[in-house]
A and B are shown apart, each in its own frame.
Chain A
Amino acid sequence: MAWFRKEKKPRLPRHEKHEIPPDAWEKCDRCGHTDLREKFVRNLNVCPNCGFHRRIRASEYAAILLDEGTSEETELDIRSTDPLGFPEYPARLKKATSAAGEGDAILTFTGKLGGMPVCLAVMDFAFMGGSMGSVVGEKIARLGQLAIERKYPLIIISASGGARMQEGVLSLMQMAKAAAILSQLSERRVPYVSILTNPTTGGVSASFSMLGDAILAEPGAVIGFAGPRVIKQTIGQELPEGFQTAEFLLEHGIVDSVVPRSELKQTVGQLLRHMSGKEASAGWTTT
């Protein structure tokens, strides 16, 4: 493809730089560093200056972890209903669907990671705060079942504020449902890697998120059962600096490792190869 390289526009002279549309620029929420959006994207939405991990969508995680052209989304048609007749829930679902796209707060895939077939579930915080209702639980249960049948390792990426209040106790029960499928997975010795991203709190944190054979967390992610605001309210004082971050959890022995987004694929591959008796991978390409 070298032949058209010459056609590329020459670099813009300095004084013309302001003509780049303003929405092409983005600012880091943590350090204020401003850069071209393209540069953020190329860096997997990690700030090139301070390493802050911005929140990304489920499909973007799938693209990061799965080998190009291998990913296939599963259970596309399953949708939330309103089992309790909860005030405004159908309207909220509609809004979430148009804002975040189809598929509820989780997408599930099969695909290959470094040539190894895997089952991957990724939560999507953009859909009602990644809240776990019946659909999230059911999609995890079905993907877990598929992982058992095919003996594919399971990977789940969490991003959630907790259980979905609008489905009441049925949401709470999804925690038990996920645990039930994972205990079966474990019985068949199918490896499971859990990846925690910002934020992983409430019911999701107290279920499949904490049940990985390996538990990884992205740098700076807030992870805990009770949200920081609730704790502050309960104890009536400010929380210590860095409380409930991925690094805090590592220090307290709750996660195995804090892994930057750029190294996720390689790390998960390495773990899965150890746990499924496969040889070490020779040459890793990380994106």
Chain B
Amino acid sequence: MASATQLEFEKPIAELERQIDEIKKTAGDSQLSVAEAIEPLERKLEDLREEVYRNLTPFQRVQVARNPRRPFTADYIKLAFTDFIELHGDRAFRDDAAIIGGWARLDDDTVMVIGHQRGRDTKEQLKRNFGMPHPEGYRKALRLMKLAEKFHVPVLTFIDTQGAWAGLGAEERGQSEAIARNLYEMSQLQVPIIATVIGEGGSGGALALGVADRVLMMENAVYSVISVEGCAAILWKDAKSPEMREKAATALRITAPELLELKVIDEVVPEPKGGAHADHETAAKSLQAVVNRHLEELRKMRPEKLVRRRRQKFLRLGAWTE
């Protein structure tokens, strides 16, 4: 797995993984003795993962959140849902592959899943525009939310984007309006909405899927009003140096525990040791359990109560004195 996407602070983990692989490969048929040989190494690996991930700095968390080996929306759909059928397009301009969505089942019940989709290799990244949507992406998302509302089906969103795409076409087609419209419509949608930040939640492009009854965050996800690079560039005219990026990541309070404290999110979803990318299945199971619990609560509420409480939740956010 070691590659260009290898994070600096994960190198000791990767080295140990390589050693284990080596032993497995060279062992050939003598499976029994191999198991004996690698058992202590695997225990050591487990400890090392825990150790490294317990002490992540905010900027290291950003790197983890952006890691292309992390589970994406499509991976969570595959692992935590069944019976998925993707729906395409905004019915007006085109299909934006940076956001995917469709019907799926969560423990037999139909739900609408919608999320940003990044790519692992270059070809996929280009197709998905690195998970940075154009207006038609938000409009597709809204179309699917309204469709879910029509059939009284809950909406589950997955946030995983550096932000909206800063390009000519996006502005020509009313990027601002598309995002604003989603915020507005989501604050009156008559079905439960649960949003989960699974990777990087960047600015308006993230929030366009983020007005929900419950906002969850994976343990190593980040959520920010501006990229740490953007913040560092504005404040210290330095978007590149690790020190300034660390300083910005710390100042902006973008990690899940900090945002829980600020009441911006409702719950932190635990990730497996070594982060979600170390074990997609466990990460998906973990998320599935938390989503299910919230969904069960939300399903009991009448639409009026749901909408009233959702609005109140956002109307309370902020800090001021008087």
Contacts and interface: CB of A to CB of B under 8 A. Distances in A.
A234 B315 CA distance: 34
Contacts of B183: 175-176, 179, 206-207
Interface in A174-192: 174-177, 179-184, 187
A241 B282 CA distance: 52
5 contacts: A134-B318, A175-B204, A176-B210, A205-B176, A231-B171
A170 B203 contact: no
A169 B224 contact: yes
A115 to B, nearest CB: 30
A279 interface: no
- How extensive is the interface on chain B, given as a class? 35 or more
Interface in A76-121: 77-81, 83-84, 86-87
Contacts of A134: 317-320
Interface in B142-182: 164-168, 170-177, 179-181
A243 interface: yes
A171 B180 contact: no
A138 interface: yes
B1 interface: no
A31 interface: no
9 smallest CB-CB distances across A and B, nearest first, come from A134-B318, A226-B166, A179-B183, A83-B319, A206-B179, A205-B176, A210-B180, A172-B225, A173-B317
A169 B262 contact: yes
Nearest to A145: B315
A110 B208 CA distance: 31
Given A176-B211, A179-B211, A79 B318 contact: no
Interface string A200-239: 0011011111110000000000011110001101110001
B187 interface: yes
A239 B168 CA distance: 8
A81 B264 CA distance: 17
Nearest to A82: B319
Interface string A224-260: 1110001101110001100110000000111000000
Contacts of A226: 164, 166-167, 170-171, 175
A83 B311 contact: no
A230 B253 CA distance: 23
Nearest to A104: B320
A226 B167 CA distance: 8
B166 A234 contact: yes
A64 interface: no
Given A172-B204, A173-B317, A208-B180, A231 B223 contact: no
Contacts of B207: 172-173, 175-176
A168 interface: yes
Contacts of A234: 165-167
A78 B322 contact: yes
B204 A203 contact: yes
Given A78-B321, A173-B317, A183-B311, A254 B211 contact: no
B38 interface: no
B251 interface: yes
B168 A172 contact: no
A271 interface: no
Contacts of B317: 134, 137, 170, 173-174, 176-177
Q: Which of B223, B310, B320 has the most CB of A within 10 A?
A: B320
A176 B314 contact: yes
A203 B180 CA distance: 9
Contacts of A187: 188
Contacts of A233: 166
Contacts of A138: 318, 320
Contacts of B167: 226, 231, 234-235
